[in-house]
Structure 1
Protein backbone atom coordinates (compact mmCIF):
# COMPACT_ATOMS: atom_id res chain seq x y z
CA UNK A 1 0.00 0.00 0.00
CA UNK A 2 1.35 3.46 -0.93
CA UNK A 3 2.27 5.75 1.94
CA UNK A 4 -0.08 8.70 2.39
CA UNK A 5 2.48 11.48 2.89
CA UNK A 6 1.59 15.12 3.54
CA UNK A 7 2.16 17.63 0.77
CA UNK A 8 5.06 19.97 1.73
CA UNK A 9 3.75 23.46 2.38
CA UNK A 10 7.12 25.16 3.04
CA UNK A 11 8.71 24.95 -0.40
CA UNK A 12 10.18 28.42 -0.85
CA UNK A 13 11.58 30.40 -3.77
CA UNK A 14 13.48 32.94 -1.74
CA UNK A 15 13.86 36.67 -2.16
CA UNK A 16 14.13 39.65 0.12
CA UNK A 17 16.10 42.64 1.34
CA UNK A 18 19.16 43.02 3.59
CA UNK A 19 19.42 45.69 6.29
CA UNK A 20 22.42 46.50 8.51
CA UNK A 21 22.44 48.30 11.87
CA UNK A 22 25.99 49.42 12.58
CA UNK A 23 27.40 49.23 16.11
CA UNK A 24 29.24 52.45 16.94
CA UNK A 25 32.34 52.73 19.09
CA UNK A 26 30.31 54.15 21.99
CA UNK A 27 28.18 50.99 22.12
CA UNK A 28 25.06 52.45 20.50
CA UNK A 29 23.48 51.50 17.18
CA UNK A 30 22.94 54.04 14.40
CA UNK A 31 19.79 52.43 12.95
CA UNK A 32 19.14 50.00 10.11
CA UNK A 33 20.06 50.98 6.57
CA UNK A 34 19.00 49.12 3.44
CA UNK A 35 22.26 47.77 2.08
CA UNK A 36 21.61 47.28 -1.63
CA UNK A 37 20.27 45.01 -4.32
CA UNK A 38 21.71 41.62 -3.41
CA UNK A 39 21.55 38.85 -6.05
CA UNK A 40 21.85 36.22 -3.31
CA UNK A 41 22.09 35.75 0.44
CA UNK A 42 23.55 32.48 1.76
CA UNK A 43 23.82 31.35 5.38
CA UNK A 44 26.52 28.72 5.91
CA UNK A 45 26.65 26.53 9.04
CA UNK A 46 29.66 24.27 9.57
CA UNK A 47 30.04 21.74 12.38
CA UNK A 48 33.53 20.79 13.53
CA UNK A 49 33.99 17.43 15.23
CA UNK A 50 36.72 15.89 17.35
CA UNK A 51 37.23 12.28 16.32
CA UNK A 52 38.65 9.53 18.56
CA UNK A 53 39.97 6.32 17.03
CA UNK A 54 40.72 3.07 18.75
CA UNK A 55 44.39 2.24 19.16
CA UNK A 56 44.61 -1.32 20.53
CA UNK A 57 43.66 -3.35 17.44
CA UNK A 58 45.60 -3.93 14.21
CA UNK A 59 43.20 -1.51 12.41
CA UNK A 60 41.96 1.61 14.12
CA UNK A 61 38.20 1.99 14.24
CA UNK A 62 36.35 5.20 14.90
CA UNK A 63 34.93 4.97 18.41
CA UNK A 64 33.77 8.57 19.02
CA UNK A 65 32.84 11.53 16.83
CA UNK A 66 32.25 14.47 19.15
CA UNK A 67 30.79 17.80 17.94
CA UNK A 68 32.94 20.57 19.42
CA UNK A 69 32.24 23.71 17.39
CA UNK A 70 29.58 25.39 15.25
CA UNK A 71 30.67 28.17 12.87
CA UNK A 72 28.07 30.33 11.15
CA UNK A 73 28.91 32.63 8.24
CA UNK A 74 27.11 34.29 5.37
CA UNK A 75 28.02 35.54 1.91
CA UNK A 76 26.32 38.09 -0.32
CA UNK A 77 27.08 40.66 -3.03
CA UNK A 78 25.97 44.30 -2.92
CA UNK A 79 25.08 45.93 -6.24
CA UNK A 80 24.70 49.48 -4.94
CA UNK A 81 28.13 51.13 -5.21
CA UNK A 82 27.22 53.86 -2.75
CA UNK A 83 29.85 55.66 -0.65
CA UNK A 84 28.53 53.92 2.47
CA UNK A 85 28.82 50.46 0.90
CA UNK A 86 32.23 51.27 -0.57
CA UNK A 87 33.39 52.21 2.94
CA UNK A 88 32.10 48.91 4.30
CA UNK A 89 33.98 47.04 1.58
CA UNK A 90 37.27 48.97 1.87
CA UNK A 91 37.14 49.05 5.70
CA UNK A 92 36.97 52.82 5.67
CA UNK A 93 34.81 55.84 6.35
CA UNK A 94 32.79 58.35 4.37
CA UNK A 95 33.25 62.09 4.39
CA UNK A 96 32.99 65.14 2.19
CA UNK A 97 35.40 67.50 0.45
CA UNK A 98 34.41 71.17 0.49
CA UNK A 99 35.98 73.20 -2.32
CA UNK A 100 35.88 77.01 -2.47
CA UNK A 101 36.19 79.30 -5.47
CA UNK A 102 39.28 81.04 -4.13
CA UNK A 103 41.61 81.71 -7.10
CA UNK A 104 44.93 79.86 -7.07
CA UNK A 105 48.03 81.59 -8.41
CA UNK A 106 51.49 80.31 -9.29
CA UNK A 107 50.91 76.64 -8.54
CA UNK A 108 54.24 75.06 -9.47
CA UNK A 109 54.66 71.89 -11.54
CA UNK A 110 57.59 70.35 -13.37
CA UNK A 111 56.18 68.69 -16.47
CA UNK A 112 56.91 66.49 -19.47
CA UNK A 113 55.23 66.33 -22.86
CA UNK A 114 52.32 63.91 -23.25
CA UNK A 115 51.74 63.66 -19.50
CA UNK A 116 48.79 64.66 -17.31
CA UNK A 117 49.01 66.64 -14.06
CA UNK A 118 46.38 66.97 -11.32
CA UNK A 119 45.82 70.48 -10.01
CA UNK A 120 45.36 71.30 -6.34
CA UNK A 121 46.81 68.18 -4.74
CA UNK A 122 48.00 68.20 -1.13
CA UNK A 123 48.34 65.83 1.81
CA UNK A 124 44.87 66.90 2.98
CA UNK A 125 43.36 66.75 -0.51
CA UNK A 126 45.29 64.10 -2.45
CA UNK A 127 42.57 63.90 -5.11
CA UNK A 128 43.05 67.55 -6.04
CA UNK A 129 40.44 70.04 -7.28
CA UNK A 130 37.58 69.67 -9.74
CA UNK A 131 35.74 71.94 -12.19
CA UNK A 132 38.37 74.62 -12.76
CA UNK A 133 38.16 77.73 -14.92
CA UNK A 134 40.30 80.75 -15.88
CA UNK A 135 43.38 78.56 -16.36
CA UNK A 136 46.63 80.20 -17.46
CA UNK A 137 50.05 78.58 -17.74
CA UNK A 138 53.38 80.42 -17.77
CA UNK A 139 57.05 79.65 -17.37
CA UNK A 140 58.60 79.57 -13.93
CA UNK A 141 59.54 83.26 -14.05
CA UNK A 142 56.12 84.32 -15.31
CA UNK A 143 57.14 84.15 -18.98
CA UNK A 144 56.46 82.94 -21.54
CA UNK A 145 52.68 82.61 -21.48
CA UNK A 146 51.79 79.26 -23.03
CA UNK A 147 48.88 78.78 -25.40
CA UNK A 148 45.91 76.57 -24.51
CA UNK A 149 45.32 73.93 -27.17
CA UNK A 150 48.81 74.31 -28.68
CA UNK A 151 50.93 73.81 -25.57
CA UNK A 152 48.52 72.35 -23.04
CA UNK A 153 44.94 71.11 -22.74
CA UNK A 154 42.73 71.73 -19.71
CA UNK A 155 40.43 68.89 -18.60
CA UNK A 156 38.33 71.21 -16.48
CA UNK A 157 35.90 68.74 -14.91
CA UNK A 158 38.70 66.61 -13.43
CA UNK A 159 41.02 69.57 -12.78
CA UNK A 160 43.79 68.03 -14.88
CA UNK A 161 46.35 69.64 -17.17
CA UNK A 162 47.67 67.75 -20.22
CA UNK A 163 50.98 68.83 -21.76
CA UNK A 164 50.80 68.59 -25.56
CA UNK A 165 53.41 66.44 -27.30
CA UNK A 166 55.32 68.61 -29.76
CA UNK A 167 54.06 71.82 -28.15
CA UNK A 168 56.00 74.72 -26.72
CA UNK A 169 56.45 73.27 -23.23
CA UNK A 170 59.60 71.15 -23.35
CA UNK A 171 60.32 68.10 -21.18
CA UNK A 172 61.39 68.78 -17.60
CA UNK A 173 60.05 72.33 -17.69
CA UNK A 174 59.00 74.19 -14.55
CA UNK A 175 55.66 75.94 -15.05
CA UNK A 176 53.26 78.06 -13.00
CA UNK A 177 49.49 77.54 -13.23
CA UNK A 178 46.72 79.97 -12.27
CA UNK A 179 43.13 78.76 -12.03
CA UNK A 180 39.85 79.17 -10.17
CA UNK A 181 38.12 76.09 -8.76
CA UNK A 182 34.33 75.99 -8.53
CA UNK A 183 32.52 76.12 -5.21
CA UNK A 184 31.30 72.57 -4.59
CA UNK A 185 31.12 69.67 -2.17
CA UNK A 186 31.75 66.05 -3.11
CA UNK A 187 31.79 62.76 -1.21
CA UNK A 188 34.96 60.87 -0.39
CA UNK A 189 35.59 57.36 0.91
CA UNK A 190 38.86 56.89 2.79
CA UNK A 191 40.28 53.54 3.86
CA UNK A 192 41.57 53.15 7.40
CA UNK A 193 43.19 50.61 9.71
CA UNK A 194 40.29 50.22 12.12
CA UNK A 195 38.29 47.01 12.53
CA UNK A 196 35.58 46.05 10.04
CA UNK A 197 31.98 47.10 10.61
CA UNK A 198 29.98 45.28 13.30
CA UNK A 199 26.28 45.30 14.02
CA UNK A 200 22.92 43.66 13.46
CA UNK A 201 21.96 42.13 10.13
CA UNK A 202 18.30 41.70 9.22
CA UNK A 203 16.96 39.83 6.20
CA UNK A 204 13.35 40.76 5.45
CA UNK A 205 11.87 38.07 3.23
CA UNK A 206 9.76 38.89 0.19
CA UNK A 207 9.62 35.44 -1.36
CA UNK A 208 8.69 34.65 -4.91
CA UNK A 209 6.78 31.68 -3.55
CA UNK A 210 6.29 30.19 -0.11
CA UNK A 211 5.85 31.63 3.38
CA UNK A 212 8.05 34.59 4.37
CA UNK A 213 10.49 34.02 7.22
CA UNK A 214 12.75 36.83 8.39
CA UNK A 215 16.31 36.40 9.68
CA UNK A 216 17.99 38.41 12.43
CA UNK A 217 21.69 38.09 13.29
CA UNK A 218 22.23 40.17 16.46
CA UNK A 219 26.02 40.44 16.09
CA UNK A 220 27.69 40.22 12.70
CA UNK A 221 31.08 41.35 11.39
CA UNK A 222 31.18 42.42 7.74
CA UNK A 223 34.36 41.80 5.76
CA UNK A 224 35.23 42.12 2.08
CA UNK A 225 35.47 38.79 0.30
CA UNK A 226 36.90 39.13 -3.19
CA UNK A 227 37.39 41.47 -6.11
CA UNK A 228 35.79 44.83 -6.75
CA UNK A 229 35.48 44.91 -10.55
CA UNK A 230 35.56 48.66 -11.18
CA UNK A 231 35.61 48.06 -14.93
CA UNK A 232 33.68 45.26 -16.61
CA UNK A 233 31.27 44.67 -19.45
CA UNK A 234 29.94 41.51 -17.79
CA UNK A 235 27.55 43.15 -15.36
CA UNK A 236 27.10 45.91 -12.76
CA UNK A 237 29.69 46.59 -10.07
CA UNK A 238 29.19 44.19 -7.16
CA UNK A 239 30.91 44.16 -3.78
CA UNK A 240 31.30 40.65 -2.31
CA UNK A 241 31.01 40.35 1.46
CA UNK A 242 31.50 37.66 4.05
CA UNK A 243 29.52 38.02 7.24
CA UNK A 244 30.91 36.30 10.35
CA UNK A 245 28.24 35.49 12.90
CA UNK A 246 29.37 36.10 16.48
CA UNK A 247 27.73 36.04 19.90
CA UNK A 248 26.06 39.07 21.44
CA UNK A 249 25.62 38.80 25.17
CA UNK A 250 22.12 37.62 26.05
CA UNK A 251 21.19 36.66 22.48
CA UNK A 252 21.24 33.58 20.30
CA UNK A 253 23.39 33.89 17.19
CA UNK A 254 20.57 33.55 14.64
CA UNK A 255 16.80 34.02 14.76
CA UNK A 256 14.35 33.05 12.01
CA UNK A 257 10.90 34.53 12.55
CA UNK A 258 7.78 33.48 10.70
CA UNK A 259 4.98 35.88 9.88
CA UNK A 260 1.68 35.81 11.69
CA UNK A 261 -1.38 35.03 9.59
CA UNK A 262 -3.43 38.12 8.73
Structure 2
Protein backbone atom coordinates (compact mmCIF):
# COMPACT_ATOMS: atom_id res chain seq x y z
CA UNK A 1 0.00 0.00 0.00
CA UNK A 2 1.20 3.48 -0.90
CA UNK A 3 0.38 6.83 0.69
CA UNK A 4 0.44 9.81 -1.67
CA UNK A 5 0.06 13.47 -0.78
CA UNK A 6 0.42 14.72 -4.37
CA UNK A 7 -2.38 14.74 -6.94
CA UNK A 8 0.08 13.97 -9.74
CA UNK A 9 1.22 10.72 -8.12
CA UNK A 10 -2.38 9.53 -7.76
CA UNK A 11 -3.15 10.37 -11.38
CA UNK A 12 0.03 8.62 -12.56
CA UNK A 13 -0.79 5.36 -10.79
CA UNK A 14 -4.40 5.50 -12.00
CA UNK A 15 -3.15 5.80 -15.60
CA UNK A 16 -0.96 2.74 -15.05
CA UNK A 17 -3.88 0.77 -13.61
CA UNK A 18 -6.03 1.75 -16.58
CA UNK A 19 -3.41 0.44 -18.99
CA UNK A 20 -3.72 -2.89 -17.16
CA UNK A 21 -7.53 -2.74 -17.49
CA UNK A 22 -8.14 -2.57 -13.73
CA UNK A 23 -11.44 -1.53 -12.19
CA UNK A 24 -11.00 1.12 -9.51
CA UNK A 25 -13.05 1.54 -6.35
CA UNK A 26 -12.88 4.77 -4.36
CA UNK A 27 -13.85 5.53 -0.74
CA UNK A 28 -13.68 9.21 0.26
CA UNK A 29 -13.23 9.78 4.00
CA UNK A 30 -12.15 12.42 6.48
CA UNK A 31 -10.13 9.85 8.38
CA UNK A 32 -10.31 8.57 11.93
CA UNK A 33 -11.70 5.41 10.41
CA UNK A 34 -14.13 3.08 12.17
CA UNK A 35 -15.97 -0.14 11.30
CA UNK A 36 -18.37 1.77 9.07
CA UNK A 37 -15.53 3.05 6.89
CA UNK A 38 -13.93 -0.39 6.95
CA UNK A 39 -17.13 -1.98 5.61
CA UNK A 40 -17.05 0.44 2.65
CA UNK A 41 -13.40 -0.31 1.96
CA UNK A 42 -13.91 -4.07 2.17
CA UNK A 43 -16.81 -3.90 -0.27
CA UNK A 44 -14.73 -1.77 -2.64
CA UNK A 45 -11.92 -4.31 -2.43
CA UNK A 46 -14.32 -7.17 -3.15
CA UNK A 47 -15.84 -5.48 -6.20
CA UNK A 48 -12.78 -3.87 -7.81
CA UNK A 49 -9.20 -4.65 -8.77
CA UNK A 50 -7.73 -1.58 -7.09
CA UNK A 51 -8.93 0.59 -4.19
CA UNK A 52 -8.14 4.22 -3.36
CA UNK A 53 -9.13 5.78 -0.04
CA UNK A 54 -8.87 9.51 0.45
CA UNK A 55 -8.19 10.80 3.96
CA UNK A 56 -8.77 14.53 3.95
CA UNK A 57 -10.50 16.77 6.47
CA UNK A 58 -12.03 19.20 4.00
CA UNK A 59 -12.16 22.72 5.49
CA UNK A 60 -14.69 23.89 2.91
CA UNK A 61 -17.52 21.81 4.38
CA UNK A 62 -17.12 23.17 7.92
CA UNK A 63 -18.87 26.31 9.10
CA UNK A 64 -17.02 28.97 11.14
CA UNK A 65 -18.25 27.61 14.49
CA UNK A 66 -17.91 23.90 13.68
CA UNK A 67 -15.31 21.36 14.75
CA UNK A 68 -12.68 21.62 11.99
CA UNK A 69 -9.78 22.18 14.38
CA UNK A 70 -10.83 19.46 16.82
CA UNK A 71 -11.93 16.84 14.28
CA UNK A 72 -10.07 13.62 15.22
CA UNK A 73 -7.04 12.71 13.12
CA UNK A 74 -4.73 9.68 13.26
CA UNK A 75 -3.11 8.77 9.94
CA UNK A 76 -0.98 5.94 11.37
CA UNK A 77 -4.06 4.23 12.79
CA UNK A 78 -6.05 4.84 9.60
CA UNK A 79 -3.26 3.46 7.41
CA UNK A 80 -3.22 0.21 9.38
CA UNK A 81 -6.99 -0.20 8.95
CA UNK A 82 -6.71 0.54 5.23
CA UNK A 83 -3.92 -1.93 4.65
CA UNK A 84 -5.79 -4.69 6.48
CA UNK A 85 -8.93 -3.97 4.44
CA UNK A 86 -7.19 -4.21 1.06
CA UNK A 87 -6.43 -0.60 0.08
CA UNK A 88 -3.84 0.00 -2.63
CA UNK A 89 -3.44 3.77 -2.32
CA UNK A 90 -4.27 6.32 0.38
CA UNK A 91 -4.57 9.87 -0.92
CA UNK A 92 -3.78 12.21 1.98
CA UNK A 93 -3.31 15.71 0.58
CA UNK A 94 -2.59 18.98 2.34
CA UNK A 95 -5.00 21.89 1.95
CA UNK A 96 -2.50 23.62 -0.35
CA UNK A 97 -2.59 20.61 -2.67
CA UNK A 98 -6.38 20.61 -2.91
CA UNK A 99 -7.02 24.36 -3.02
CA UNK A 100 -4.68 26.81 -4.77
CA UNK A 101 -4.38 30.25 -3.08
CA UNK A 102 -6.80 31.95 -5.52
CA UNK A 103 -9.28 29.05 -5.62
CA UNK A 104 -12.73 30.35 -6.65
CA UNK A 105 -14.59 27.50 -8.38
CA UNK A 106 -17.33 25.66 -6.54
CA UNK A 107 -19.91 22.95 -7.18
CA UNK A 108 -23.22 24.09 -5.79
CA UNK A 109 -26.63 22.44 -5.71
CA UNK A 110 -30.17 23.52 -4.87
CA UNK A 111 -33.32 21.72 -3.65
CA UNK A 112 -31.74 18.54 -2.19
CA UNK A 113 -29.20 20.54 -0.19
CA UNK A 114 -31.73 23.00 1.21
CA UNK A 115 -33.40 20.54 3.59
CA UNK A 116 -32.20 18.69 6.71
CA UNK A 117 -28.49 19.36 7.32
CA UNK A 118 -28.52 22.11 4.71
CA UNK A 119 -30.72 24.30 6.91
CA UNK A 120 -28.38 24.36 9.90
CA UNK A 121 -25.14 23.92 7.93
CA UNK A 122 -25.59 26.28 4.94
CA UNK A 123 -22.06 25.96 3.53
CA UNK A 124 -21.71 22.24 4.12
CA UNK A 125 -22.93 20.71 0.88
CA UNK A 126 -21.17 23.20 -1.36
CA UNK A 127 -17.98 22.05 0.33
CA UNK A 128 -18.93 18.37 0.00
CA UNK A 129 -19.85 18.64 -3.69
CA UNK A 130 -16.75 20.65 -4.54
CA UNK A 131 -14.28 18.34 -2.83
CA UNK A 132 -15.94 15.12 -4.01
CA UNK A 133 -16.01 16.39 -7.60
CA UNK A 134 -12.30 17.17 -7.33
CA UNK A 135 -11.58 13.76 -5.81
CA UNK A 136 -13.54 12.03 -8.58
CA UNK A 137 -11.43 13.84 -11.20
CA UNK A 138 -8.21 12.95 -9.38
CA UNK A 139 -8.97 9.26 -8.78
CA UNK A 140 -11.14 8.48 -11.85
CA UNK A 141 -12.93 5.56 -10.18
CA UNK A 142 -15.42 3.14 -11.69
CA UNK A 143 -17.30 2.92 -8.39
CA UNK A 144 -17.48 5.16 -5.34
CA UNK A 145 -18.74 4.00 -1.94
CA UNK A 146 -20.69 6.04 0.61
CA UNK A 147 -22.41 5.10 3.85
CA UNK A 148 -26.19 5.34 4.15
CA UNK A 149 -25.85 6.97 7.58
CA UNK A 150 -25.31 10.22 5.70
CA UNK A 151 -28.50 9.73 3.68
CA UNK A 152 -28.68 13.30 2.45
CA UNK A 153 -25.03 13.29 1.40
CA UNK A 154 -25.60 10.07 -0.54
CA UNK A 155 -28.59 11.62 -2.35
CA UNK A 156 -26.57 14.77 -3.09
CA UNK A 157 -23.63 12.83 -4.54
CA UNK A 158 -25.90 10.67 -6.69
CA UNK A 159 -27.59 13.76 -8.09
CA UNK A 160 -24.26 15.50 -8.73
CA UNK A 161 -22.98 12.46 -10.61
CA UNK A 162 -26.16 12.40 -12.70
CA UNK A 163 -26.21 16.13 -13.39
CA UNK A 164 -22.50 16.49 -14.21
CA UNK A 165 -22.25 13.25 -16.25
CA UNK A 166 -19.62 11.53 -14.14
CA UNK A 167 -19.15 7.99 -15.44
CA UNK A 168 -19.12 6.60 -11.90
CA UNK A 169 -21.40 4.15 -10.11
CA UNK A 170 -22.29 5.50 -6.67
CA UNK A 171 -22.91 2.69 -4.20
CA UNK A 172 -24.66 3.23 -0.88
CA UNK A 173 -23.69 0.82 1.87
CA UNK A 174 -25.65 -0.09 5.04
CA UNK A 175 -25.24 1.75 8.32
CA UNK A 176 -22.82 0.02 10.67
CA UNK A 177 -23.80 0.19 14.33
CA UNK A 178 -22.37 -0.79 17.67
CA UNK A 179 -24.08 -3.71 19.39
CA UNK A 180 -26.24 -1.27 21.37
CA UNK A 181 -27.51 0.36 18.16
CA UNK A 182 -25.49 3.59 18.07
CA UNK A 183 -24.46 4.39 14.51
CA UNK A 184 -20.69 4.42 14.02
CA UNK A 185 -19.30 7.94 13.69
CA UNK A 186 -15.91 9.55 14.13
CA UNK A 187 -17.67 12.16 16.26
CA UNK A 188 -18.74 9.51 18.80
CA UNK A 189 -15.30 10.04 20.34
CA UNK A 190 -16.49 13.44 21.58
CA UNK A 191 -19.19 11.87 23.79
CA UNK A 192 -18.74 11.41 27.52
CA UNK A 193 -19.88 8.01 28.89
CA UNK A 194 -23.16 9.57 30.04
CA UNK A 195 -23.71 11.29 26.69
CA UNK A 196 -22.99 8.11 24.80
CA UNK A 197 -25.70 6.33 26.81
CA UNK A 198 -28.06 9.21 26.07
CA UNK A 199 -27.22 8.99 22.35
CA UNK A 200 -28.74 5.50 22.19
CA UNK A 201 -32.12 7.23 22.08
CA UNK A 202 -31.55 8.20 18.44
CA UNK A 203 -31.77 4.69 17.05
CA UNK A 204 -34.33 3.62 19.64
CA UNK A 205 -36.64 6.50 18.71
CA UNK A 206 -36.31 5.77 14.99
CA UNK A 207 -37.31 2.16 15.63
CA UNK A 208 -40.30 3.21 17.74
CA UNK A 209 -41.47 5.56 15.00
CA UNK A 210 -41.23 2.77 12.46
CA UNK A 211 -43.31 0.55 14.75
CA UNK A 212 -45.94 3.29 14.95
CA UNK A 213 -45.99 3.54 11.17
CA UNK A 214 -46.54 -0.20 10.80
CA UNK A 215 -49.31 0.00 13.41
CA UNK A 216 -51.22 2.32 11.08
CA UNK A 217 -50.03 5.88 11.82
CA UNK A 218 -48.96 7.46 8.53
CA UNK A 219 -49.31 11.20 9.17
CA UNK A 220 -45.85 12.66 9.35
CA UNK A 221 -46.79 15.40 11.82
CA UNK A 222 -47.91 12.79 14.34
CA UNK A 223 -44.77 10.71 13.89
CA UNK A 224 -42.51 13.75 14.07
CA UNK A 225 -44.21 15.06 17.22
CA UNK A 226 -43.75 11.66 18.88
CA UNK A 227 -40.05 11.53 17.95
CA UNK A 228 -39.29 15.06 19.14
CA UNK A 229 -40.95 14.34 22.46
CA UNK A 230 -38.96 11.13 22.88
CA UNK A 231 -35.67 12.71 21.88
CA UNK A 232 -35.97 15.73 24.15
CA UNK A 233 -36.97 13.78 27.27
CA UNK A 234 -33.31 13.95 28.29
CA UNK A 235 -31.93 17.47 28.80
CA UNK A 236 -28.62 16.30 27.32
CA UNK A 237 -30.34 16.03 23.93
CA UNK A 238 -31.54 18.86 21.69
CA UNK A 239 -33.23 18.18 18.35
CA UNK A 240 -31.79 19.91 15.29
CA UNK A 241 -34.31 18.31 12.94
CA UNK A 242 -36.68 15.37 12.61
CA UNK A 243 -38.04 14.86 9.10
CA UNK A 244 -39.69 12.18 7.01
CA UNK A 245 -38.49 12.56 3.44
CA UNK A 246 -38.47 11.00 0.00
CA UNK A 247 -35.00 9.40 -0.11
CA UNK A 248 -34.01 10.48 -3.61
CA UNK A 249 -34.96 14.16 -3.35
CA UNK A 250 -34.80 14.60 0.45
CA UNK A 251 -38.07 16.56 0.28
CA UNK A 252 -40.40 16.37 3.32
CA UNK A 253 -43.70 14.57 2.79
CA UNK A 254 -47.06 15.18 4.43
CA UNK A 255 -48.24 11.59 4.70
CA UNK A 256 -46.37 8.33 4.23
CA UNK A 257 -47.76 6.61 1.16
CA UNK A 258 -44.60 4.78 0.12
CA UNK A 259 -42.79 2.42 2.46
CA UNK A 260 -39.33 3.40 1.20
CA UNK A 261 -39.56 6.81 2.89
CA UNK A 262 -36.68 7.80 5.13
CA UNK A 263 -36.89 9.18 8.65
CA UNK A 264 -33.85 11.41 9.14
CA UNK A 265 -32.79 13.02 12.40
CA UNK A 266 -30.03 15.25 13.71
CA UNK A 267 -29.65 15.65 17.44
CA UNK A 268 -27.21 17.50 19.64
CA UNK A 269 -26.04 15.28 22.48
CA UNK A 270 -24.17 17.66 24.71
CA UNK A 271 -21.92 19.56 22.30
CA UNK A 272 -21.86 16.75 19.72
CA UNK A 273 -24.18 16.76 16.72
CA UNK A 274 -25.14 13.26 15.61
CA UNK A 275 -27.22 12.12 12.64
CA UNK A 276 -29.10 8.90 11.99
CA UNK A 277 -31.87 7.61 9.76
CA UNK A 278 -34.05 4.62 9.11
CA UNK A 279 -36.15 3.37 6.21
CA UNK A 280 -39.79 2.49 6.73
CA UNK A 281 -39.74 -0.36 4.22
CA UNK A 282 -38.78 -3.13 6.63
CA UNK A 283 -41.55 -4.38 8.87
CA UNK A 284 -40.32 -5.33 12.32
Q: Which has the greater radius of gyration?
A: 1
Give the structure with the larger helix fraction.
2
TM-score by structure 2 length? 0.17
Q: Which has the higher strand share?
A: 1
